[in-house]
Amino acid sequence: MSATVDRGRPHVLSARILSVNVVHAVVPDTLGDLDLTAIDKRPVDGRVQVSAPGPAGVGLAGDEVRDTNNHGGPDKAVYAYAREDLDWWAGELGREISAGFFGENLTTASLDVTGAVIGERWRVGEDGLVLEVTYPRIPCRTFQGWMGEARWVKRFFAHGVSGAYLRVRGEGTVGADDAVEVAHRPSHGVTIGEVFDLTTADSGRLQLLLDEQDDVGEALSSAVRRILRARTR
């Protein structure tokens, strides 16, 4: 886990959006199954519309998803990663990691994204935007090809800091320096980080997530529920 965020106090008053990132250019997918990937995301100025599924699409205006089997859609409309965790990787890899470089739409500050509870809802800014925590990001060969780091997928898993996918519960706009407030946190308490690494997860904790279906709502798809049920058995 990140050494720079206090996991005992994952959400603090200064939690905010540091930058909003959308696709800069589609680039060759050197290791994955795609011809091109939209992983190259970079900060943009001003406010960006964030939409729930509808005629205008889903997610951030101006963004693009090429791997629609594994990214995008209602449950993965927005991806968030903490600046503190990017900084940890920058030190580990000995290279600069700019905002958006992990393909995240929202680079956060003072917010433990991987420590967020599944089904937790964030109120972002003052324009009605509400996002719900849904999934950990699972690293893939496209990500490894983009990073150009040996054994990147294994290293990303080993560090345990996945960032979080988010569902749009209330449409609105987002911009840099928007405050992030936790509007709702399910009582089961199971975090993105716990679901990310099922090989080390506590079966009893995962069962809590399965038992509180009303509390977690739609935050887990049937596919993830099947994985969790298999793991808890």
CB 198 within 8 A of CB 150: no
88/58 Cα distance (integer angstroms): 31
50/27 Cα distance (integer angstroms): 24
Q: Taking residues 214-219, what's their average pLDDT?
A: 54
Query: For residue 230, is pLDDT > 80?
Result: no
Q: What is the pLDDT of residues 43-75, one digit of tens each?
A: 999 999 999 988 778 899 999 988 777 677 888
Domains of the chain with bracketed CATH: 11-193 (2.40.33.20)
Which of the two residues, 14 and 146, has the higher pLDDT score?
A: 146
Name the average pLDDT for the chain. Answer: 87
Which of the two residues, 48 and 217, has the higher pLDDT score?
A: 48
Q: What is the pLDDT of residues 128-158, one digit of tens each?
A: 999 999 989 999 999 999 999 999 999 999 9
pTM above 0.85, yes or no: yes
- pLDDT at position 220 is 63
At which residue do the structure tokens 């449409």 appear? 171
User: Mean pLDDT lowest for which of 25-34, 82-91, 124-133, 138-147?
Assistant: 25-34
Give the strands of the sheet with 59-60, arranged side by side.
59-60, 48-51, 172-174
Which of the two residues, 170 and 207, has the higher pLDDT score?
A: 170
- Give the chain as a DSSP string: --SSS-TTS-EEEEEEEEEEEEE---EE-SSSS-SEE---EEE-SS-EEEE-SSTT-SEETT---S-TTTS-SGGGSEEEEEHHHHHHHHHHHTS---TTTTS-SEEEEEE-STTSBTT-EEEETTTTEEEEEEEEPPP-HHHHHHHT-TTHHHHHHHHT---EEEEEEE-EEE-TT-BEEEEE--TT--BHHHHH-TTT--HHHHHHHHH-HHHHTTSS-HHHHHHHHHHH-
- pLDDT at position 72 is 77
Q: Taking residues 175-183, what's their average pLDDT?
A: 97
Q: Taking residues 2-7, what's their average pLDDT?
A: 40
Query: For residue 16, is pLDDT > 80?
Result: yes
Share of the chain above pLDDT 70, in %: 85
